[in-house]
Homo-oligomer: A and B are copies of this chain.
Amino acid sequence: MTEARPDALPDALPRPNRRGRPPKGAAQLSRESIVEATLRVVDAEGVSAVGMRSVARSLGVDAKSLYNHVEGKDGLLDALAEHILGGLALPEPTGDVRRDLHAIARAFRDRALRHPEAASLVLTRQLASFEGLAPVATVLRVLRGAGCPTGEAVHLLRVLLATLIGTLLRELSAGTAFGVGDNAGIAARQEALERSGFPVLAEVAPHLARFDREAEFTYAVSFAIDAVVTRVQASNPR
């Protein structure tokens, strides 16, 4: 839904002969349209292509105009991260702790990786924003609903989120660092590990050279959630 591009928006491509004031019923710049244009730039050319000038150009507008709606480039990137995270559709808790936490983690991953070029922004900048509160609240509801005391619930929330974010960051960098699936790359990495001078790396090279995104995510999340469930039961006398 946050992806929707209303037809009322101006053309995304730059139009020539632009100068002076808005040409009739044009543009109507807004914070939202700016953020959406930024997302289009990121999806198409990566986050390094984002600039006040490039985003403005894609809207057929001068770069300085953006400052009327956004707090500089840094504010623009924050707004983008919040926009993406704001589209997170959280599942309603069912009462089954394990299942509920899995569903939340899965929803978060889907959302964060939906725009792969923007994912690192979401994972590293969201930490203070209001948008980040909804997933936090949902996890806490699940933990509290299972009888977890408030202090312990906050601790478990934090370690769960840390594992999730760390795992997604790795998934992201694994995707860009080496072609995850290609066999030649796997063979090359395996060989490099065998030559690394660390015997233990040679020993585990076949596993370490491989990275199955789906399997790694499932393993990490299951691991963390199992541990959380154990803690919750321990902290809950009943």
A203 & B159 in contact (Cβ 8 Å cutoff): no
A161 close to chain B: CB less than 8 A: yes
The answer for the CA separation of A136 and B203 in the assembled complex, in Å, is: 13
Known: A124-B169, A127-B174, A150-B203. 13 other contacts (CB 8 A): A137-B196, A140-B201, A140-B203, A144-B200, A155-B219, A159-B167, A162-B162, A163-B224, A165-B166, A165-B169, A166-B169, A223-B227, A224-B227
| A127 touches which of B127, B150, B170, B226 (Cβ 8 Å) | B170
**Chain A interface size, under 10 / 10 to 19 / 20 to 34 / 35 or more:** 35 or more
| A200 touches which of B124, B140, B159, B173 (Cβ 8 Å) | B140
A200 & B163 in contact (Cβ 8 Å cutoff): no
Chain A 189-202 interface 0/1 with B at a Cβ cutoff of 8 Å (1 = within): 00000001010110
Q: Which of A194-220 contact B (CB under 8 A)?
A: 196, 198, 200-201, 203-204, 206-208, 216, 219-220
List, in ascending order, chain B residues with CB within 8 A of A227's CB.
223-224, 226-227, 230
B231 & A223 in contact (Cβ 8 Å cutoff): yes
Task: Pick the most buried of A140, A150, A156, A158: most chain B CB atoms within 10 A of its CB.
Answer: A158
Chain B residue nearest in CB terms to A163: B163
A133 close to chain B: CB less than 8 A: yes
A128 close to chain B: CB less than 8 A: yes
Closest chain-B Cβ to A206's Cβ sits at a distance in Å of 8
The 11 sampled A-B contact pairs (Cβ below 8 Å) are A124-B173, A137-B200, A141-B200, A153-B207, A154-B208, A155-B219, A159-B219, A161-B166, A162-B163, A162-B167, A163-B163
| A159 touches which of B154, B220, B230 (Cβ 8 Å) | B220
Chain B residue nearest in CB terms to A177: B128
The answer for the CA separation of A167 and B174 in the assembled complex, in Å, is: 19
B127 & A177 in contact (Cβ 8 Å cutoff): yes
List, in ascending order, chain B residues with CB within 8 A of A127's CB.
170, 173-174, 177
A16 close to chain B: CB less than 8 A: no
